[in-house]
Amino acid sequence: GFSDDAKPSGGGRVFAPYAIFKGKAALTVAPVLPVFAKIDSGNVCIERRGTVMMTFMPAIGQRKYDWAKKQMFALSATEVGSVISMGSKDSSEFFHDPSMKSSNSGQVTKSLSIKPYEDSKSQDGKGGYYFSLSVQNKILKTNHYLVVPVTIAEFAVMKTAFSFALPYIMGWDRLIVQGENAPQSFST
């Protein structure tokens, strides 16, 4: 896993996000692996699902982006499936409440929208998708809105990379690896 609690001591992490830098904002995407827990039986259970983390940053100059003002949205496996299955005319919209089911429910709401665009004014003249993240904080009374136009080629990279990552964020690679390393599964 990537989280601070999972790897508290210095180093060893790998950073290789796919980054899309545009005029008003940048978007990076990277998988976050699930966290597994050993249970009493000695078996291993998935404890926290993996995600594909989308990080938006506003531009503060030419090809300079403000990391401190980043806004994040973690796509679940099913939301990744939704993106992968989008046709060229399809839109998607996802809503998250980071404090869902807690007493802070509803204080922060996030929505990620993916909408196709297609006109001669678009960046590559061929169309693509607007990725828009809206984050509303009712306590701080802030409302952040960031938009990154994603070309068809960049969206194809995302779809291929998301399809690659999906079994890993689901933890299915562990099912497979256990089989390969399990000589006891041979009967003689």
Which residues of the chain form contacts with a second copy (CB under 8 A)?
Answer: 1, 5-7, 10-16, 18, 30-31, 33-38, 41-47, 77-82, 84-85, 151-158, 160-161, 163-168, 170-180, 182, 184-188
Using alpha carbons only, what angle is made at residue 99 by residues 95 and 100, rounded to the nearest 5 degrees? 65
The least distance separating a second copy from the CB of residue 170, rounded to whole angstroms, comes to 6
Which CB sits closer to a second copy, 145 or 172?
Answer: 172
Which CB sits closer to a second copy, 51 or 108?
Answer: 51
Cα 169–chain centre separation: 10
Q: Round to whole Å and give the CA distance between 135 and 73.
A: 9
Q: Round to whole Å and give the CA distance between 165 and 135.
A: 26
Which CB sits closer to a second copy, 56 or 155?
Answer: 155
The least distance separating a second copy from the CB of residue 65, rounded to whole angstroms, comes to 17
The least distance separating a second copy from the CB of residue 138, rounded to whole angstroms, comes to 26
Q: Round to whole Å and give the CA distance between 28 and 10.
A: 24
Q: Round to whole Å and give the CA distance between 42 and 70.
A: 40
